[in-house]
Amino acid sequence: MEEIVVISGKGGTGKTTLAASFAVLAGGDLVLADADVDAANLSLLLTPEQLESHPFIASSVAVLDRERCTECGLCRELCRFDAISEDYRIEPISCEGCTVCSRACPEEAIAMEEVVSGHWFLSQTPYGKLVHARLGIAEENSGRLVTLVRNEARELAKAEQKKYLLTDGPPGIGCPVIASLSGATKALIVTEPTISGIHDLKRVLQVCRQFDVPPAVCINRCDLDEENTRTIEAYCAGESVEVAAKIPFYREVTEALIRAKPVVSYTEGPAAADIARLWGNISANGSQAD
């Protein structure tokens, strides 16, 4: 099975737009995972029907019993996350669930309570099953939720003997991105010809290297600044990273997005042809590597 992850470093370069079209192009032979658990958008384009919903419990927060508390100050002294105020209130948003205060309290006045940090879902789309999630607002553990989403999707893809597991990744380079990359056979990095895009591409490529995931690059809206596009191509050549596609700005892509449709379902024009070529390129390269 090929595990292709779409990431970008910089946000808003077109990850989800491309992933939705790849879902259509794979002709039903895939399982999808949306690993952007903060702001999941893939489902908006794929008309999913929810089959299952599960709570995500990964951590606990400290809860203080005022009756027992003698305000000795030990918990405040030990807490490294500034989660306990001067008047002994525990701020759940700051609490990381490390349990130090609860274990140390001489009066046993602090209990740990499990929190539901989000939910994950299994849905059916016309193109294959989709595992996605929603992390609660201001919650932690996005990396663990991403790992859970990908593991569920991977098991499903194995059970259904699908050729591809396609993951729509989050922006950035931190824990949810690292969790998205683990076990992947290819990372498609979607960038744009802006100096921010170039800067972020270099950083996300370093992360791919560290976690040993072979990268390929797509330069999206490549006609926005041709000089920057040439800079990216030269950089990739120097790093022996394949540029799998250069896709110019197409009005149909924006139109498809506004109508919440995958580009290749909305138009048969050049935008769709470019995306199909890119999918052919990364999916074929993947199987050669087997």
Partner 1 sequence: MIIAIASGKGGTGKTTVATNLALVISEKTKVQFLDCDVEEPNAHLFLKPELQSSEPVSIPVPRVDLERCTYCGICAEVCAFNAIMVGKETVLVFEPLCHGCGGCTYFCPEKAISEVDRPIGVLEKGPAGPLSFVHGKLNPGEALSPPLIKAVKKTVDPSALTIVDAAPGASCPVVEAIQGSDYCLLVTEPTPFGLNDLIIAVELLKKLNLPGGVVINRSLGGEGEAEMESYCRQEGVPILLRMPWDRELASLYARGEPAVAHLPAWRKHFAGLLEQLPVEIEEGR
Residues of this chain that interact with partner 1 (CB under 8 A) are: 8-13, 16, 37-39, 41, 44, 59-60, 78, 80-81, 93, 96-100, 103-104, 135, 137-140, 142-143, 170-175, 177-178, 192-196, 199-200, 203-204, 206-207, 210-211, 224-225, 228, 254, 257-258, 260
Structure tokens, 178: 């690292």
Q: Which is closer to partner 1, CB of 15 or CB of 186?
A: 15
Alpha-carbon dihedral of residues 78, 83, 86, 90, nearest 10 degrees? -110
Indicate the residue among 118 and 286 with the shorter CB distance to partner 1.
118
Cα 1 versus chain centre, distance: 20
Q: In the Cβ-directed half-sphere of 154, how many Cα atoms lie within 13 Å?
A: 18
Do residues 158 and 1 lie in contact, with contact meaning Cβ atoms separated by under 8 Å?
yes
217: left (phi over 0), alpha (psi -120 to 50) or beta: beta
Task: Please say which residue, 10 or 162, places its beta carbon nearer to partner 1.
Answer: 10
Q: How far is the CB of 233 from partner 1 (least distance, A)?
A: 15
| Burial call 62-85: b when 16+ CB within 10 Å, e when fewer | bebeeeeeeeeeebeeebeeebbe
62: three-class secondary structure by DSSP: strand
Closest CB 32 distance from partner 1, rounded Å? 16
Q: How far is the CB of 135 from partner 1 (least distance, A)?
A: 6
The smaller minimum CB distance to partner 1, of residues 136 and 281, is found at: 136
In angstroms, what is the minimal distance from the CB of 104 to partner 1? 7
Which C-beta is closer to partner 1: that of 11 or that of 28?
A: 11
> Which segments of the chain does DSSP mark as H helices, in order?
15-25, 42-45, 74-78, 100-104, 142-159, 175-181, 195-210, 226-238, 251-258, 263-266, 270-288
Distances (CA, A) of 288 to 32, 94, 186, 283: 22, 48, 12, 9
Closer residue to partner 1 (CB): 39 or 237: 39
- We find the least distance from the C-beta atom of residue 265 to partner 1, in angstroms, to be 15
End-to-end CA distance of the chain: 9
Residue 193 or 286 with smaller CB distance to partner 1: 193
CB 36 → partner 1: shortest distance, Å? 8
Q: Please report how close the Cβ of residue 1 comes to partner 1 at its closest, in angstroms.
A: 26
